[in-house]
Amino acid sequence: MNIRLAKTAGFCFGVRRAVDTVIRLTEEGNGPVYTFGPIIHNETVVNDLAARGVVTLTGIEDLQSVTEGTVVIRSHGVPREIHEAMRKREEETGGKVRITDATCPFVKKIHGIVEKAGLEGRHVLICGDREHPEVKGITGWCTGPVSVIASLEEAKQIIDTLPKALCIVAQTTFDYKKFKSIIAFFSDFGYNSNDSVVNTICNATEERQTEARLLAGECDAMVVIGSENSSNTRKLYEICKAVCPSTFYVQSADYPDYKAFKSFRCIGITAGASTPSTIIEEVQNRMSEDNFEQMLEESFKTIHNGEVVEGTVIRVKEDEIALNIGYKADGILTKSEYSSQPVADLREVVKEGDKLSVKVVKVNDGDGQVLLSRRRLAQERSSQVLQDAFENKTVITAKVTDVVKGGLSVLVDECRVFIPASLVSDVFERDLTKYQGQEISFLITDYDPKKRSIIGNRKVLVAEQRKAALEAALSRIKVGDVVEGTVKNVTDFGAFIDIGGVDGLLHISEMSWGRIGNPKKHYKPGDTVRVFIKDINNDKIALSKRFDDENPWADAEKRFAPGTIVTGRVARMTDFGAFVEIAPGVDALLHVSQISRKRVEKPADVLKIGQEIEALILELRPEEKKISISMRALSEERGEAVPEDEAPAEEASVEEAPVAEETPADPE
């Protein structure tokens, strides 16, 4: 194994200066030493300083409790407001509390730049992490408007809101490559780099990032050492990861899984600006060839066929996964042994660092590798779950993976359960495709893994649910109740309405006071309807929309008295006449002999469906809900002339005009 250490790894000038300042103050012994916030972003360093008696202050409130000693401003710097409050505290205590500024000189320089820019009336734009203490400190020294962006995408979002007078600076540890892309973007909008842009990225940061990028491209794996809350270390990790997928974030020498590196021939090491050289050296020593091989040999375990082990994914290909299982050889998990479900590309479902429980199929496949199976382990575990469910009558919930001939195929982890069509529901369902991809609940009613026969039953659960819903519904409804429901299904004879967990039938004859020819033209599944309970017979509920207060025949004798002239719309026609809707729900018969004073063979010769006509009511039979009307009688009453060239209709008195005894079927 070849290990290459970056030349720029470890403490930068500003960090070393701040840490050395604190150590020097503790050694001088001139009273307690405090730091305003962690002196740097490295827990090991902060803990070492705490062991020397250094106390970390978290805010101005903590500062007020300090009565003597030295307070050190950390390397990231602080806003002007806090800086002035600290100096005020120094004056209040008569110098008993002393302030030592360990702000990095490069950061201090940025404070001066943004302060001046604000006084000149320029808008300050900071490229950096707005939550980072350095950026918060820089923002606190701005004397005018200020914005913070972390990426080119954010720059594009605010470009239209920025004035021409602009000053662009960067957090000292900002990604130099990102900064260049942002500056290039602003240049396209006329911001002159000489006047508007100041590259405030620390030279050491730029060198460290450039070296890390180059090193990552030359090595099989990269190790980035530093605290997880260190901004510059995170940026190094992102830079290396983009070039070398096998990049590891190591916070200390106690990294838990050095075995993950054993398969790499060349490993590069870099470290953040706040990482002490002692940690870098310790990590490097532990990864050295002799020490590393010794650790590996000591950590190797013995494994056997059929054993269940946990492994960490170290490589993923389209059709193969390599796992570190703590054995001297890697474990190999093929696509077919990963899952019984089709997986196009294993890289879409697994990533490096994932933990997987697997079963050892073969300790040595002939090439020194261990063959593993996740599928077989999952099948064994799910088979046990299904057996327990069968014995204890436990309800299982799983997703329908396939609609097959004769039923549904459901996958419980890696075990398939077949639910015959006859056991899917308590009613016959011709089309089962609606269950594809849906989660359903069922019982296991037949379990024989040797014959690969595991049968599920959803019907019994549906029946129980429907019975419970019916009992609940029947306990809260009674005949005459007005309810709102949702249309579930429409047939030629009516519609089934869900009125709260139970279905009622709205028969075609109860849909309206008028005639309904085809229910499917008036209702569709999902419609909300207002109905009342007409009848309850055991589990059958009859519904109606024929509300008494909407009965058009209630005052028919007054509205449709013989001799009344009415206007109506031709609703349908037969050979013997036309039915005219003279009011919602009220149809009257216009006999063929009453259409005109001239002879009419059939109504369709002179009338059209939907045509509006005027007629005279001849006869009303309210008890039979029948009305006879005449256009001919109205014409005669008005004295309208009949053209001489037209033959008159057969003479028929008004009294003889027939009233339909039977309404023919609606042609809709």
* Domain assignment present for 189: yes
Considering only residues 555 and 620, tell me which one the structure prediction assigns the higher pLDDT: 620
Place 366 in a pLDDT band, splitting at 50, 70 and 90: low
Q: Which of 61, 81, 84, 134 is catalytic?
A: 134
Q: What is the DSSP letter of 291?
A: H
Shortest CA distance to 268 belongs to which of 207, 217, 222? Answer: 222
SS3 content of the chain, % helix, strand, coil (to 5): 35, 30, 40
- Are β-strands 396-404 and 407-412 bridged in parallel, bridged antiparallel, or unpaired? antiparallel
Q: What pLDDT is attached to residue 192?
A: 66
Q: What pLDDT is attached to residue 667?
A: 38
* Domain assignment present for 175: yes
Contact 5, 220 (CB under 8 A): no
Q: Last residue of a domain, which of 105, 128, 159?
A: 105
Say whether both 546 and 577 belong to one domain: no
Say whether both 149 and 186 belong to one domain: yes
* Domain assignment present for 217: no
Please tell me the least confidently modeled range out of 37-41, 382-386, 637-641. 637-641
Please tell me the least confidently modeled range out of 258-267, 394-403, 561-570. 258-267
* Domain assignment present for 367: yes
| Euclidean distance between CA atoms 57 and 85, whole angstroms | 14
Please tell me the least confidently modeled range out of 103-112, 251-260, 420-429, 558-567. 251-260
Place 513 in a pLDDT band, splitting at 50, 70 and 90: confident
454 Cβ contact list (under 8 Å, min separation 6)? 386, 415, 416, 417, 418, 444, 446, 447, 448
Q: Which domain holds residue 186?
A: 106-201
**For residue 499, pLDDT beyond 80:** yes
Which tokens sit at 377? 């382990």
370: amino acid identity, one letter: V
Q: Last residue of a domain, which of 550, 574, 597?
A: 550
Place 662 in a pLDDT band, splitting at 50, 70 and 90: very low
| Euclidean distance between CA atoms 79 and 77, whole angstroms | 7
Q: What pLDDT is attached to residue 340?
A: 77
Q: What pLDDT is attached to residue 657?
A: 45
CATH number for the domain that contains residue 129: 3.40.1010.20
**Count of C-beta atoms within a 10 Å radius of residue 60:** 13
**Count of C-beta atoms within a 10 Å radius of residue 561:** 10
- Are β-strands 494-498 and 503-507 bridged in parallel, bridged antiparallel, or unpaired? antiparallel
Max alpha carbon distance in the chain (Å)?
134
Say whether both 616 and 637 belong to one domain: yes
| Euclidean distance between CA atoms 591 and 660, whole angstroms | 8
* Domain assignment present for 255: no
CATH number for the domain that contains residue 523: 2.40.50.140
| Euclidean distance between CA atoms 100 and 122, whole angstroms | 31
| Euclidean distance between CA atoms 413 and 118, whole angstroms | 63
Write down the residue that tokens 């005449």 correspond to: 630
Say whether both 120 and 100 belong to one domain: no
pTM score > 0.95 for this model? no
Say whether both 197 and 161 belong to one domain: yes
* Domain assignment present for 266: no
Q: What pLDDT is attached to residue 467?
A: 83
What is the rounded average pLDDT of the residues 459-488?
Answer: 87
Which tokens sit at 56? 């970390």
Q: What pLDDT is attached to residue 259?
A: 65
Q: What pLDDT is attached to residue 590?
A: 95
Shortest CA distance to 444 belongs to which of 380, 383, 381? Answer: 383
66 Cβ contact list (under 8 Å, min separation 6)? 32, 34, 57, 89, 97
What is the rounded average pLDDT of the residues 114-133?
Answer: 94
What mean pLDDT value characterizes the chain?
86
Contact 230, 45 (CB under 8 A): no
H, E, C per residue of 168-190: EEECCCCCHHHHHHHHHHHHCCC
Place 654 in a pLDDT band, splitting at 50, 70 and 90: very low
How many angstroms separate the Cα of 619 from the Cα of each of 555, 653, 657?
A: 15, 13, 9
Say whether both 133 and 180 belong to one domain: yes
Shortest CA distance to 568 belongs to which of 553, 556, 583? Answer: 583
Say whether both 369 and 397 belong to one domain: no
What is the rounded average pLDDT of the residues 463-471?
Answer: 83
Say whether both 603 and 573 belong to one domain: yes
The per-residue DSSP string of 463-529 comes to HHHHHHHHHHHHHH--TT-EEEEEEEEE-SSEEEEESSSSEEEEEGGGS-SS--S-GGGT--TT-EE
**For residue 109, pLDDT beyond 80:** yes
What is the rounded average pLDDT of the residues 122-129?
Answer: 95
What is the rounded average pLDDT of the residues 77-86?
Answer: 94
Residue 134: active-site member: yes
* Domain assignment present for 295: no
Q: Last residue of a domain, which of 321, 348, 373?
A: 373
* Domain assignment present for 648: yes
| Euclidean distance between CA atoms 161 and 213, whole angstroms | 34
How many angstroms separate the Cα of 519 from the Cα of each of 193, 492, 512, 542, 573?
A: 75, 6, 11, 16, 20
Say whether both 19 and 33 belong to one domain: yes
What percentage of the chain exceeds 90 in pLDDT? 50
Place 638 in a pLDDT band, splitting at 50, 70 and 90: confident
Say whether both 576 and 619 belong to one domain: yes
| Euclidean distance between CA atoms 245 and 315, whole angstroms | 9
Place 540 in a pLDDT band, splitting at 50, 70 and 90: confident
Say whether both 421 and 406 belong to one domain: yes
Say whether both 651 and 560 belong to one domain: yes
Considering only residues 414 and 257, tell me which one the structure prediction assigns the higher pLDDT: 414
Q: What pLDDT is attached to residue 22?
A: 93
Place 191 in a pLDDT band, splitting at 50, 70 and 90: confident
Q: What pLDDT is attached to residue 339?
A: 85
| Euclidean distance between CA atoms 389 and 248, whole angstroms | 43
How many angstroms separate the Cα of 172 from the Cα of each of 109, 110, 231, 406?
A: 10, 9, 10, 68
Number of domains in the chain: 6
Q: What is the pLDDT of residues 53-78, one digit of tens each?
A: 999 998 889 999 999 999 999 999 99
Q: What pLDDT is attached to residue 188?
A: 86
